């Protein structure tokens, strides 16, 4: 039996880093069958549809999705809406897990190991917006059910991973209704997990503390946009946005992707950092039950990055995407595959 993996190559540097991730996966013997889907902005320009119902059905039938970044223009351009967000909502992958771990030798902070759990389907990214006479309104939708699900997810993850603390990040002093509900639900949920410390911090203070004292965090749980912003900030602590992968998890589906964007400025130059994409692929291995394989990939990445000469330009190095991928492959084969 083979696991069906939907593959979205994405835009910008997407195809280059996806290529690396698939090459790493193919180095291992995994029962994966890849189904490539052509979705996104380019598809929309060509056909008027960024993702079809047929594509969505395939995504839903697959055992997991491996996804590179997709481009979304910031201009109001013909109401094009983000395919990434559409997929997250449609597959109801409500928990976006972003592990922020420093790699020895390259990260400005040592020993940092925190997990950001971001609510992934509502909040300010609800997609509900309208114009009013003097401007525009975006609805920040927060439901009790989603708060319960994401807070439970964070505490269960903390238990599973042997973590000591979950920090709820909010702005309930100002956003009394929406963040208020999130905060209240967090503390209600916390009662069921007496062995885990439950702490809260305001989002602005969290942004500050992440720079001043990042090791004070363990697991962070927060709403959609705060999680989006804080995870980019936290990624800077690892040395590069290009190093972080993520999992989007729901009851029925799961999507694995790097947290960065399409990086159009370096697209097609072959110099993008593939690690975030490779980390995402490694998390997919864990999710599908191939824990040893996931672990081997991450160990090989860590091993390769230890050497300052093995870095892509985002980390001040000179290696290109292919060369770095080959180094990881070499370590994977020599250290973990040849018995």
Where do contacts with Mg ion occur on this chain (CB under 5 A)? 228
User: What's the closest the beta carbon of residue 192 comes to Mg ion, in angstroms?
Assistant: 30
In angstroms, the Cα distances linking 28 to 25, 62, 274 are 6, 20, 17
Residue span 62-91 as binding mask against ligand IPM, x where in contact by CB under 6 A, dash where not: ----------x---------x-xx------
Joined tokens for residue 301: 């990445």
Q: For 111, phi and psi rounded to 5 degrees?
A: 70, 20
User: What's the closest the beta carbon of residue 228 comes to Mg ion, in angstroms?
Assistant: 4
User: What's the closest the beta carbon of residue 317 comes to ligand IPM, in angstroms?
Assistant: 24
Strands (E), the chain: 3-8, 32-37, 64-67, 95-101, 113-119, 129-132, 135-138, 165-170, 197-202, 219-222, 245-249, 254-258
Residues 86-145 touching ligand IPM, rule: CB under 6 A, are: none
User: What's the closest the beta carbon of residue 260 comes to Mg ion, in angstroms?
Assistant: 8
* Residues forming beta bridges with residue 258, ordered by sequence position: 245
Question: Sign of torsion, CA 97 227 236 70?
Answer: positive
Residue 303 CA to residue 313 CA, distance in Å, equals 18
Report the residue number, 62 or 237, with the smaller CB distance to Mg ion: 237
Contacts of 161 (CB under 8 A, 6+ apart): 115, 219
Report the residue number, 55 or 228, with the smaller CB distance to Mg ion: 228
Binding partner of 82, given Mg ion, ligand IPM, none, CB within 5-8 angstroms per partner class: ligand IPM
User: What's the closest the beta carbon of residue 120 comes to ligand IPM, in angstroms?
Assistant: 8
**Among 59, 66, 114, 259, interactor with ligand IPM by CB under 6 A:** 259
Binding residues for ligand IPM, rule CB under 6 A, total 7
User: What's the closest the beta carbon of residue 72 comes to ligand IPM, in angstroms?
Assistant: 6
**Helix orientation angle between 275-287 and 291-305, rounded to the nearest 10 degrees:** 160
Q: Is 228 in the site for ligand IPM (CB under 6 A)?
A: yes
At residue 334, the 3 state secondary structure works out as helix
Binding partner of 85, given Mg ion, ligand IPM, none, CB within 5-8 angstroms per partner class: ligand IPM
Report the residue number, 10 or 317, with the smaller CB distance to ligand IPM: 10
Report the residue number, 84 or 273, with the smaller CB distance to ligand IPM: 84
Report the residue number, 199 or 232, with the smaller CB distance to Mg ion: 232
Q: For 261, phi and psi rounded to 5 degrees?
A: -95, -160
Structure-derived torsion over alpha carbons of residues 185, 187, 189, 190, reported in degrees to the nearest 10: 160
User: What's the closest the beta carbon of residue 98 comes to ligand IPM, in angstroms?
Assistant: 8
Binding positions for ligand IPM, rule: CB under 6 A: 72, 82, 84-85, 228, 259, 261
């Amino acid at each position: 039996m083979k696991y069906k993996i939907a593959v979205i190559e994405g835009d910008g540097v997407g195809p280059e880093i996806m290529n690396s991730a698939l090459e790493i996966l193919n180095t291992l013997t995994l029962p994966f069958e890849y189904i490539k889907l052509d979705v996104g902005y380019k598809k929309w320009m060509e056909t008027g549809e960024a993702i079809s119902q047929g594509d969505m059905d395939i995504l839903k039938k697959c055992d997991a999705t491996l996804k590179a970044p997709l481009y979304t223009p910031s201009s109001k351009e013909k109401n094009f809406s983000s395919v990434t967000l559409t997929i997250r909502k449609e597959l109801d992958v409500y928990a976006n897990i972003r592990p922020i771990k420093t790699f020895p030798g390259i990260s400005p902070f040592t020993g940092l190991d925190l997990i950001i759990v971001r609510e992934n389907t509502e909040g300010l990214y609800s997609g509900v917006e309208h114009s009013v006479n003097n401007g525009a309104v975006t609805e920040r939708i927060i439901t009790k059910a989603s708060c319960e699900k994401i807070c439970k997810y964070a505490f269960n993850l903390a238990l599973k991973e042997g973590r000591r603390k979950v920090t709820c990040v909010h702005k309930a002093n100002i956003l009394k209704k929406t963040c208020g509900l999130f905060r209240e639900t967090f503390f209600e949920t916390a009662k069921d997990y007496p062995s885990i410390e439950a702490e809260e911090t305001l989002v602005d203070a969290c942004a500050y503390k992440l720079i001043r004292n990042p090791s004070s965090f363990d697991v962070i749980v927060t709403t959609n946009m705060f999680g989006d912003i804080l995870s980019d900030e936290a990624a800077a602590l690892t040395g590069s946005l290009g190093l972080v992968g993520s999992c989007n998890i729901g009851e029925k589906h799961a999507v694995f992707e790097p947290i960065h964007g399409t990086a159009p400025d370096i697209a097609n130059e072959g110099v993008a950092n593939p690690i975030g994409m490779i980390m995402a692929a490694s998390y997919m291995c864990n999710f599908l039950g191939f824990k040893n394989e996931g672990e081997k990939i991450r160990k090989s990445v860590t091993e390769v990055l230890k050497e300052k000469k093995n870095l892509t330009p985002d980390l001040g190095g000179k290696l290109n995407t292919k060369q770095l991928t080959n180094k990881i492959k070499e370590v994977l084969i020599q250290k973990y595959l040849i018995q």
